[in-house]
Amino acid sequence: MNEYIERVLASVREKNASEPEFVQTVEEVFKSIAPVVERHPEYEKNGLLERLVEPERMFSFRIAWVDDNGKVQVNKGYRCQFNGSIGPYKGGLRFHPSVYSGIVKFLGFEQIFKNSLTGLPIGGAKGGSDFNPNGKSDGEIMRFCQAFMNNLYRFIGPDIDVPAGDIGVGGREIGYLYGQYRHIKGVFENGVLTGKGQSYGGSNIRPEATGYGAVYYAEEVLAHFGEKIEGKTIAISGFGNVAWGVAKKAAQLGARVVTISGPDGYVYDPDGICGEKIDYMLELRASGNDIVEPYAEKYGVQFFPDRRPWEQKVDIALPCATQNELDEDDARRLIDNGVLCVGEISNMGCRPEAIDLFIKNHIMYGPGKAVNAGGVATSGLEMTQNAMHISWSAEEVDQRLHGIMRDIHTQCVKYGTEPDGYINYMKGANIAGF
């Protein structure tokens, strides 16, 4: 690698030693863009890479809220406004006990390149809290979200920073957050958040968008190699909003999603998750217990406690749960079982050693920032509709989403095609986004 890159990387490792997820994502992006940096010696003089890895602004704040027993609870809140060069900061909020500065920075860094890839004018940001929504009552969620917004409101706005959902933050939480924002500011400024309910400015297709977009992307990848998604088996992890969108679109296109997973293990449903089973996934999620075993009991299929779905023989694997959920052993098993295509829907879903194996074995591998970009892209379309005070039909939004995913694929092919014809989608996505 180029000497300039090496030097900045060494400094990133030293200055962020307690944030391994952030270091991991910077290493990946720098490895990919090395040939471009090589051709532009002026980047070094301009300190371009040093600027790229330092958030423009990052803050943490106290969230004090009252639980159902009348006791005051305190959590940490974060927002990282990483890069606003091409538009207002944009990116989700994650509520999960694992959230700390390293997670927020890794997600914010990914978001810069992902948002750029969509072709829409949105900068990169991320935020969240170490709050654990599991087992909390609706009233507790509401009071937590209101307390969160009491701190965040002064830093955001439709042309400043536009948060949305991520793990632990869905339509209900966005509703509570927006309600509090409107009360504090005294304006109907609904472009400040995306992922809203449709009655107050939410976009058609936004709930489905990440999953739909990922399946559209997989279709493009397969088509490029003369394959079709119809008839293929798909393993997914997770059972939240993103997994739901994948299951819905895959079923529509004649593919079979045969697994879902939770912290308790995974379910294998050889007939495919379709029809009412897809809705049941949402019910499971809404129950707040964070387990998938009840699906196996209800539909009489196998449950594998404490295991991951990547041990099943499938054509396509789409991690949809969280970072680093697919490791080197999982990758080897998938490859041995003849997997055709692996797409990260979770951000940084694969460990670097797993990605290396996929690339070495010429598996079609799509990185999260390309595969899952349909979510934020549709958030961008929600911002546009809010700014114009109009609402597009589901067909119109879906068509635009489909077009954006096709364009992202085209860009990845343009910048990621290796001399031997293999398409390194990771390299392509990182260079195109950069």
- Residue 347 is a binding residue for ligand 2IT (CB under 6 A): yes
- Residue 90 is a binding residue for ligand 2IT (CB under 6 A): yes
Q: Which of the ranges 138-146, 152-160, 256-264, 370-378 carries the binding residues for ligand 2IT, by CB under 6 A?
A: 370-378
- Residue 143 is a binding residue for ligand 2IT (CB under 6 A): no
- How many residues bind ligand 2IT (CB under 6 A)? The answer is 12
- Residue 146 is a binding residue for ligand 2IT (CB under 6 A): no
Q: Which of the ranges 27-35, 142-150, 297-305, 374-382 carries the binding residues for ligand 2IT, by CB under 6 A?
A: 374-382
Residue 62 DSSP SS3? strand
Q: Which of the ranges 49-57, 89-97, 289-297, 352-360 carries the binding residues for ligand 2IT, by CB under 6 A?
A: 89-97
Amino acid of residue 265? G
Question: What does the per-residue mask of binding to ligand 2IT show for 42-71, with x meaning CB under 6 A?
Answer: ------------------------------
Distance of CA 153 to the CA centre of its chain: 23
Q: How far is the CB of 50 from ligand 2IT (least distance, A)?
A: 25
Question: What does the per-residue mask of binding to ligand 2IT show for 183-202, with x meaning CB under 6 A?
Answer: -----------x--------
Q: Which of the ranges 73-81, 144-152, 213-221, 372-380 carries the binding residues for ligand 2IT, by CB under 6 A?
A: 372-380
| Beta-bridge partner residues of 317 | 235, 342
Nearest to 235 by CA among 220, 252, 250: 250
Residues between 197 and 256 that touch ligand 2IT (CB under 6 A): none
- Residue 319 is a binding residue for ligand 2IT (CB under 6 A): no
- Residue 77 is a binding residue for ligand 2IT (CB under 6 A): no
Contact indicator for 267, 289 with CB cutoff of 8 Å: no
Contact indicator for 77, 127 with CB cutoff of 8 Å: yes
Judged by CB, which is closer to ligand 2IT: 166, or 219? 166
Q: How far is the CB of 246 from ligand 2IT (least distance, A)?
A: 15
Q: What gap in Å lies between CA 44 and CA 33, rounded to an integer? A: 14
Nearest to 119 by CA among 418, 423, 409: 409
Point out the residue whose Cβ comes nearest to ligand 2IT: 92
Residue 91 DSSP SS3? strand
Judged by CB, which is closer to ligand 2IT: 2, or 83? 83
Q: How far is the CB of 116 from ligand 2IT (least distance, A)?
A: 12
Query: Binder to ligand 2IT among 33, 192, 376, 383 (CB under 6 A)?
Result: 376
Contact indicator for 241, 231 with CB cutoff of 8 Å: no
- Residue 349 is a binding residue for ligand 2IT (CB under 6 A): no
**How many helices (H) and strands (E) in the chain?**
17, 12
Q: Which of the ranges 88-96, 230-238, 257-265, 318-326 carries the binding residues for ligand 2IT, by CB under 6 A?
A: 88-96
Q: How far is the CB of 145 from ligand 2IT (least distance, A)?
A: 16
Query: Binder to ligand 2IT among 55, 77, 87, 91 (CB under 6 A)?
Result: 91
Judged by CB, which is closer to ligand 2IT: 309, or 375? 375
Q: What gap in Å lies between CA 391 and CA 389, rounded to an integer? A: 7
What residues act catalytically?
A: 126
Query: Binder to ligand 2IT among 92, 202, 240, 349 (CB under 6 A)?
Result: 92
Q: Edge-to-edge strands of the sheet including 72-83? A: 57-66, 72-83, 123-129, 89-95, 161-165
Which two three-digit tokens encode residue 16? Answer: 């962020």
DSSP class of residue 203 equals P
- Residue 430 is a binding residue for ligand 2IT (CB under 6 A): no
Residues between 95 and 134 that touch ligand 2IT (CB under 6 A): 114
Tell me which residues touch ligand 2IT (CB under 6 A): 90-92, 114, 164, 166, 194, 347, 372, 375-376, 379
